[in-house]
Amino acid sequence: MAKPVVLIAEQLSPATVEALGPDFDVRSVDGTDRPALLSALADANAVLIRSATQIDEEALAAAPSLKVVARAGVGLDNVDIKAATEAGVMVVNAPTSNIISAAELTIGHILSLARHIPAAHASLAAGEWKRSKYTGTELFEKTVGIIGLGRIGALITARLQAFGVEVIAYDPYVTPARAQQLGVRLVTLDELLEQSDFITIHMPKTPETTGMISTAQLARMKSTAYIVNVARGGLIDEEALAEALAAGTIAGAGLDVFSSEPPTDTALLGLPNVVVTPHLGASTDEAQEKAGVSVAKSVRLALEGELVPDAVNVAGGVIDPFVRPGIALVEKLGQVLAAVAGHGALTDLEIDVRGELAAYDVSVYRLAALKGYFTNQVTENVSYVNAPLLAEQRGITSSLNVSEESKDYRNTTTLRGVLSDGTTLEVAGTLAGTKMTEKIIGLNGYDIEVPIGEHHIVMFYTDRPGIVAVYGKEFGEAGINIAGMQIARRSAGGQALSIITVDSPVPDEVLERVRVAIEADEVREIDIVEA
């Protein structure tokens, strides 16, 4: 069996390849060479990138087998997450890999601004000795304002406090208790701008935060204050910043990121009171290694069909080993439900989990049920990523209920679907015995116990003598071997259910002959696709 193809599109640490292990066909391509990238993506199952490779709609269309895009870093500006989600491709990153490096670079920029280190170096290297020109300022007893008190903001706080500064912060999502724990005073954005001697911004880039520091905000700052951005380009309005720096509205700025990279058409690069670095926030050996190893582990999980804690476009998280075997069962129950529904339009799907599983987080079962339901229903590649989107597009609501009560089995999972005409369908399953055998234990109110196979035929008909002989003859004459069979009924002479396991798919014309021969209300084939 061919190994899954993992494409490395940018330079990553040797530890990244080592973390992938021997189970993959690891290939390399220059992600900035567009034709080469598109060609290499043709049979790739995973692609590992940094910041230079663009994975957009065109790239995704060129990769029909792609299951995961892994960004060895934090930012995802170069990945079209919406297009990836629609294509069923998981997007993962390494959100904590560079936080120490970014925090340390921020401190470096603050110190460089306070003591004019880059300008003083350049002057001395040019043969000048101008000590008085580069008189700086101490951090001691100054006020530093942090916009965004997340993981990086907290690390910066801890490092700055050693300098004897007062740290204030603006973050609408941080509680006063958390701020107090960090030794930080929460203030409004306007208060932070007016009180701070140094300001550093650590917000995600969203439509709301883009340009959040512009002319009006810069005007509120002290004329002796400095501002630093090592987070995302565009958080500070660069044109407004250049005007403020040139006019002396503020003392200086330290920038590691820009709206367009590399920056070419900007006045900022020519100003003497600006310290710039070429997006070095994650550029340490340690950060690169941590990022590469982190996403390599995520790729392994994704290609093994697992959910990934760092997936940005799927409700992932750590799955308890006790919960994991049930994922495949629930996917198959979803396929059974879809087959029984036929051409009926599903409007609601309820997943009911009972028994010992109730003690665990089984939220993944909702994704598994949706994935299973759509597996044979749509032409798109269905995954944990786009199954909820497919449901939303079709107006299907889904819910998950959990209860410790399970009367006959240690664990049961029931999928209950409501069709647009009000019909309710139900299929229940369990993992039985020490071998955790996947079984169907209920179908539309009938109690059965059938190990899940690759091919099943479900028949609803009026209970009467001779029916088994009739359909057995039809299947036998068609060369269809019956591997197992179970019949259930609610009362003698009432409606009965036969579910049989067969060794091969059954042609439609054979199913129709069986339906006519036994005067069945319904005959359905269920073909189970392995995850």
* CATH number of the structural domain spanning residue 336: 3.30.1330.90
Q: At residue 42, what is the residue type?
A: A
Q: What is the pLDDT of residue 530?
A: 76
DSSP for 192-243, written as a single string: HHHH-SEEEE-----TTTTT-B-HHHHHHS-TT-EEEE-S-TTSB-HHHHHH
Same domain for 80 and 223 = no
Stretch (H or E) spanning 144: strand 143-147
> Do the domain assignments include residue 342?
yes
> Do the domain assignments include residue 414?
yes
Q: What is the pLDDT of residue 106?
A: 97
Vertex 448: Cα angle to 444 and 452 (nearest 5): 95
Q: Which of 504, 487, 509, 505 is nearest to 496 (CA)?
A: 487
Task: Give 349 or 177, the one with higher predicted confidence.
Answer: 349
What range does the domain containing 76 cover?
Answer: 5-95+286-303
Using CA atoms in the order 237, 242, 244, 246, what is the torsion angle rounded to 10 degrees?
A: 180
Same domain for 158 and 28 = no
Pairing of strands 495-502, 455-462: antiparallel
Same domain for 427 and 355 = yes
> Do the domain assignments include residue 318?
no
| Active-site residue, from 232, 354, 515, 524 | 232
Token pair 């479900």 is found at: 458
34 in helix, strand or coil? helix
Q: What percent of the chain has pLDDT over 70?
A: 98
Same domain for 59 and 21 = yes
State the Cα–Cα distance between residues 362 and 384, nearest whole angstrom: 14
* Structure letter (DSSP) for residue 344: P
| Active-site residue, from 57, 138, 141, 261 | 261
Task: Note whether 222 and 191 are within 8 A (CB).
Answer: no
Same domain for 294 and 247 = no
Q: Name the pTM for this structure.
A: 0.60
State the Cα–Cα distance between residues 295 and 466, nearest whole angstrom: 60
State the Cα–Cα distance between residues 458 and 339, nearest whole angstrom: 9
Task: Note whether 56 and 276 are within 8 A (CB).
Answer: no
Same domain for 68 and 171 = no
Q: Which of 410, 411, 439, 409 is nearest to 427 (CA)?
A: 439
279 given a catalytic annotation: yes
Beta-bridge partners for 526: 456
Same domain for 119 and 19 = no
On average, the pLDDT of the chain sits at 90
Q: Provide the pLDDT confidence category of residue 222 given band limits of 50, 70 and 90.
A: very high
In this predicted structure, the answer to whether residue 302 has a pLDDT above a threshold of 60 is yes
**pLDDT mean over 462-485:** 92
Same domain for 145 and 16 = no
Domain count, the chain: 3
Number of neighbouring beta carbons within 10 Å of residue 318: 11
**pLDDT mean over 238-249:** 96
Tokens matching residue 71: 């960004």
> Do the domain assignments include residue 317?
no
Weakest mean pLDDT among 116-120, 315-319, 347-351, 458-462: 315-319
Same domain for 25 and 160 = no
Query: Angle at which helices 364-375 and 325-341 pack, to 10 degrees?
Result: 40
Tokens matching residue 329: 């069962």
Tokens matching residue 152: 């990086």
Same domain for 427 and 332 = yes
Same domain for 230 and 362 = no
In this predicted structure, the answer to whether residue 478 has a pLDDT above a threshold of 60 is yes
Q: What is the pLDDT of residue 376?
A: 82
In the chain, how long is the greatest CA-to-CA distance? Answer: 109
Vertex 262: Cα angle to 256 and 265 (nearest 5): 105
> Do the domain assignments include residue 10?
yes
Q: Provide the pLDDT confidence category of residue 387 given band limits of 50, 70 and 90.
A: confident
232 given a catalytic annotation: yes
> Do the domain assignments include residue 492?
yes
Stretch (H or E) spanning 102: helix 99-115
392 given a catalytic annotation: no
What CATH number is associated with residue 299?
A: 3.40.50.720
Task: Note whether 486 and 509 are within 8 A (CB).
Answer: no
- Tell me the CA distances in angstroms from 91 to 75, 84, 132, 216, 324, one per residue in order: 12, 7, 52, 37, 21
> Do the domain assignments include residue 316?
no
pLDDT single digits (tens) 104-125: 999 999 999 999 999 999 999 9
> Do the domain assignments include residue 358?
yes
Number of neighbouring beta carbons within 10 Å of residue 484: 12
| Active-site residue, from 71, 116, 202, 279 | 279
Pairing of strands 46-49, 5-8: parallel
17 in helix, strand or coil? helix
Task: Note whether 387 and 315 are within 8 A (CB).
Answer: no
Same domain for 110 and 90 = no
State the Cα–Cα distance between residues 254 and 199, nearest whole angstrom: 10
Number of neighbouring beta carbons within 10 Å of residue 3: 12
